[in-house]
Structure 1
Amino acid sequence: MEHNQTFTSIKNHIAVHLSQIIEETEAMRDSLGEKEYCLLCELAHIRDHFNEIQSSASFFYLKAYIEKFTSEYIEIAKAIQNLAEKRHGALIVVERGDSVDNHIQGGIPLNATISNRLIESIFFPGNPLHDGAILVKGDYIISAANVLPLTNQDFGAEKVGTRHRAGIGLTEITDALVLIISEETGKMSFALGGTLYPIISTGSTLQ
């Protein structure tokens, strides 16, 4: 039941912003040529709506990307939301079809069953394992404090931190999905196929 409510909420969130885009676009068309009309202002509003849609869609599809590879995706989702609320930086590699072993510098072996509390404790500030990434294979956290390859992408003036560069870098050379929490902003995102996608929280855990 919670599963259906969560994804219905996300769909409704997307639908609302699509409706607002349609309304504002029609208003823009009807107001073109008016002396006091600010086209650039309206375009900025529409861009904000598109950003919201992208974020919501990213959260919606995250489950689809990882549930085939770990049955503990709910525990992972709970962990990233709790970490984001506390602004505890985190980097979580979910291995999918490709082995990542040859592309990371191995950290500390754990071989522990996935739980949200364990993930949160690993990334608690001051924990010796909180720097680097945890590696998830199936239903287990294989290791922590792993070092990932950094992307060589040029982001121009956009500020992209080391965690995000590491997440993007690994997904450029494998099909892994990497979850990233910014310790500066608490924002959640995931990297897949060399691209970074923001995740918006709808106030409930991913079920």
Structure 2
Amino acid sequence: MKKHIYHQLGVIIKESEQLMSSLHVKNYCLLCELDELHKTFQQLQAQASSYYLQAYLSEYTPHYEVLSKVIQELAKHKHGGLIVIERKDPLKGLLQNGVQINAELTESLLESIFYPGNPLHDGAVLISGTRIVSAANVLPLSIKNSGTKMGTRHRAALGITEKTDAIALVVSEETGKMSFAIDGGLYPFSSD
């Protein structure tokens, strides 16, 4: 993975140098080139985020691949989702109105919780180790990002990670984009 990131950074540097050398050309469209460079940066950020997400989760749940598959499936169908993985900090006092599940974490159970129309799909699922602890949890919302255009799931993911060391996985119902929150920051990730 690191080799790939170094390669991508090399590509970005090369493209940036080409941009700089082309600025004096009369009919050169800088905006088009900047858009392509921006896309390359986004791809690189998503790939690096996927790598680090696995590293952050591996100590706390052996089910990184299950979570990854579920998030990808939700994204493919634009089914919104919010999954919180408990790490060292206990989360019980910060969650409200959750329905106890206390079941082994499986792909099919997790996907079915987020199926539209399911009464549990509109809240966060809490994962601890290998178990789905609860669903339909209400999380504290981030107040830092209240002025930006951000959905409730994303603000909840940020809110729980601002107060704890938890990791929150989010799928946007509107765009199908996947991201994760940690330490009050939100990062896109890819399915690669």
Do both share a fold (TM > 0.5)? yes
CA distance in 1, matches of 2:159, 2:188: 16
Alignment of 1:39-118 (within 5 A): 39-118=30-109
Match of 2:19 in 1: 28
Whether 2:187 is the aligned partner of 1:197: answer yes
Structure 1 residues 21 and 185, CA gap change in structure 2 (3 angstroms): same
User: Shift in Å at residue 131 of structure 1?
Assistant: 1.1
Which ranges of 4 or more aligned residues in structure 1 deviate by more than 3 Å?
14-17, 38-41
- Distance verdict in 2 for CA 1:30–1:198, change over 3 Å: same
Please list every run of 5 or more consecutive structure 1 residues that lacks an aligned counterpart in the other structure.
1-7, 203-207
**Residue identity matched to 1:64:** A
Cα displacement string for residues 147-183 of structure 1 (whole angstroms, at most 9, x for unaligned residues) = 0000012365x52100000000110010000000111
1:121 alignment partner, SS class: helix
Moved more, 54-63 or 28-37: 28-37
Matched to 2:170, the amino acid is: I
Superposed CA deviations along residues 70-102 of structure 1, whole A, max 9, x for unmatched, are 112221111111111111111100000111111
Report the residue type matching 2:169 in the other structure: L
CA contact (8 A) 1:178 1:190 kept: yes
Aligned-partner Cα distance in 2 for 1:175–1:200: 22
- Identity of counterpart residues, as a percentage? 52
The Cα shift of 1:65 comes to 0.7
Once residues 34 and 48 of structure 1 are traced to their aligned partners in structure 2, the CA distance between those partners, rounded to angstroms, is 23
SS of residue matched to 2:161 = helix
- Supply the RMSD in Å over aligned alpha carbons: 1.8
Q: Residue 177 of structure 2 aligns with which residue?
A: 187
| CA contact 2:68–2:191 (8 Å) conserved in 1 | no
5+ long unaligned stretches in structure 2: none
**Separation in 1 of the partners of 2:135 and 2:146?**
28
- Measure the CA separation in 2 of the matches of 1:63 and 1:32: 40
Q: In the alignment, does 2:157 pair up with 1:167?
A: yes
Distance in 1 (alpha carbons) for counterparts of 2:81 and 2:184: 18
Count of equivalent residues: 192
Distance 1:57 1:179 in 2: 15
Given that 2:125 and 2:135 are in contact with CA atoms closer than 8 Å, whether structure 1 keeps it comes out as yes
Give the whole-Å Cα distance in 2 for the aligned partners of 1:121 and 1:179.
16
Residue of structure 1 equivalent to 2:166: 176
TM-score by length of 2: 0.92
